[in-house]
Amino acid sequence: MTRRTSASPLVVALVALPALSSLACSPMDATGSAATDTSGADATPLPVAGRSTVYAPHGLVATSQPLASTAALRILEEGGNAFDAAVAASAVLSLVEPHMTGLGGDLFAIFWSTDEERVVGLDASGRAGARMSPDQIRADGFERVPYQGPGSVTVPGAIAGWAALLDRYGSMSLADVVRPAIDLAEDGFPVSPIIARQWQNQLDLLQDDEGATATYLVDGERAPRAGEWFRNPDFAASLRVIAEQGPSAMYGGELGRRIVAHLDEVGGYLTNDDMAGMEVSWVEPLSVDYRDWTVWELPPAGQGIAALQMLEMLEPLDIAGMGHNSAEYLHHLIEAKKLAFADLARYVSDTDHLEVTPEALLDPEYIERRRALIDPTRAQEQVEPGDAVQQSETVFLVVADDEGNQIAFIHSIFEYFGSGVVVPGTGFVLQNRGAGFTLDDGHPNQVAPGKRPFHTLIPGFVTRNGEPYMAFGVMGGSMQPQGHVQLLLNMFDFGMDPQEAVDAARFRHLGGLRVAMENVTPALRAELEAMGHTITEDWTRTAFGGAQVVVRLDGGGWGGASDARKDGMAVGY
């Protein structure tokens, strides 16, 4: 393998899917984080019938919530491009999926620019506040960086990301593309089923914060039920200010100052200068060749490099010959994941603080040494980093337009409802990305003022022979790299179409010998346990990520898929 480091809606029909191997299909949520619900309340498997791939001649959108998909589609139909539509979808998701994303979060994107004929990366993540030092955190009585609450809040970068993307690549104004979200917030919308269940599971967190209770709970006691209407006029007001004033409203303006003033009262570490200093980074994506395709991921501080390491370790193997979701196949993927994540936990941090370069972690000789550690018959309980994490709640979307632009776009507040802190009257929660830091002295990811934390968010892209092919992603914290690899192998090695590849059952390695699997058969369980794996099915349906995919068709037009483990859909025109 060669290593590189460059640069009218369609109705989704239900069709019977072919047999998908010894693992059955099932829907997904979670991240493995502390607040993840593992009660099994939404652990119903997918039916035998599923969605078919959506095909469209001009443009296509896939998101995790139908209102976001249709808002983005409307932007395309009105003459906007993929970048305009992506921001429109992101704004709507910030409203309708508030436990996953919002105006107080970060975003990343990787995309094909037709004008520039290249893959481009955008990092719109914020930094730690000027007062967020190890000494201050310890003085405040914490033994680790706060996981939630005001002490976990970092500068929210999403609004800066929206503006940067539109300024450089969009064709419409920020005010135009966020109008659908403002209208929905003012008029209200019926809450979708999976979101309603996840929302209800966060009552304790929301009731701990006055602003969160007032914003997100009905009568301060419960979440809105599936099909029940929800309005958020405070969100509409905040977004209208942003539409009128641009990103300066958040970064140095009235909205940002309100955030800082409230955090000062409740124990946060941000200053007005921190907010005013927010800047996005245009980054050069990393890539590796896998068989006939080139797979692109964003560089650190994200975890995309783990997906690339896994692909490099697996590429020389006869993946197809092992059989899809066979014990041999799953074992090799799980062991490769352990090795990649050991490196991730030890070496990945803010790019400005890396001790080991991404190039070194993708070096063919280094990868070969890591691959040699895979025992084909026995699971390793503990894997050390080579010589040379974390969870999160997220939304992911893809858009393609008639000009040939394709974008993979991911936007998150990290944990369910992020920090749990809502500045009264703003209508949105602040992220808890500070939880991505460590307090460990000497670690490259140790918390420090002005530093970006380790990030879980990783949009993905695929080219073939230098031409754009696929924008893709699998949301869900540590599920993301292992989900990326499973999705890609489904298509590249087993010839699945986009929707089949998304629907196929997944595993999620949890740590040590523990592996969660979707509806594993008794025979497969026995084979894997004989190798030393500990198999569990005690996880919610959404624990296995939520994928969205758009592929360019050889004859023109697009094919798209949206994960039934979420509420969303793919639509095109």
CB atoms within 10 A of CB 383: 19
How far is Cα 266 from Cα 319, in angstroms, rounded to an integer? 53
How far is Cα 324 from Cα 296, in angstroms, rounded to an integer? 24
Alpha carbon distances (Å) from 151 to 33, 266, 325, 326, 420: 18, 9, 42, 45, 11
3-class state of residue 332 by DSSP: helix
Please name the helix (run of DSSP H) or strand (run of DSSP E) that holds residue 139, with its range, or none: helix 134-139
Please name the helix (run of DSSP H) or strand (run of DSSP E) that holds residue 489, with its range, or none: helix 479-492
Residues linked to residue 552 through DSSP beta bridges, in sequence order: 558
CB atoms within 10 A of CB 511: 13
- Residue 492: HSE in the Cβ half-sphere, 13 Å Cα cutoff: 23
Annotated active-site residue 426? The verdict is: no
Do β-strands 49-51 and 558-562 pair in parallel, antiparallel, or remain unpaired?
unpaired
Alpha carbon distances (Å) from 178 to 112, 238, 447: 23, 11, 34
Overall residue count recorded for the chain in this entry: 573
CB 4 within 8 A of CB 359: no
Farthest CA pair distance, the chain: 62
How far is Cα 311 from Cα 98, in angstroms, rounded to an integer? 33
**Catalytic position from the list 215, 394, 426, 540:** 394
Nearest residue to 570 via CA among 64, 18, 97: 64
How far is Cα 571 from Cα 573, in angstroms, rounded to an integer? 7
3-class state of residue 439 by DSSP: coil
CB atoms within 10 A of CB 320: 13
State phi, psi for 430 to the nearest 5 degrees.
Answer: -95, 145
DSSP for residue 251: T
CB 376 within 8 A of CB 45: no
Nearest residue to 19 via CA among 324, 320, 322, 319: 324
Q: In 57-207, which ranges are E strands?
A: 60-63, 106-113, 118-124, 189-190
Active site residues: 394
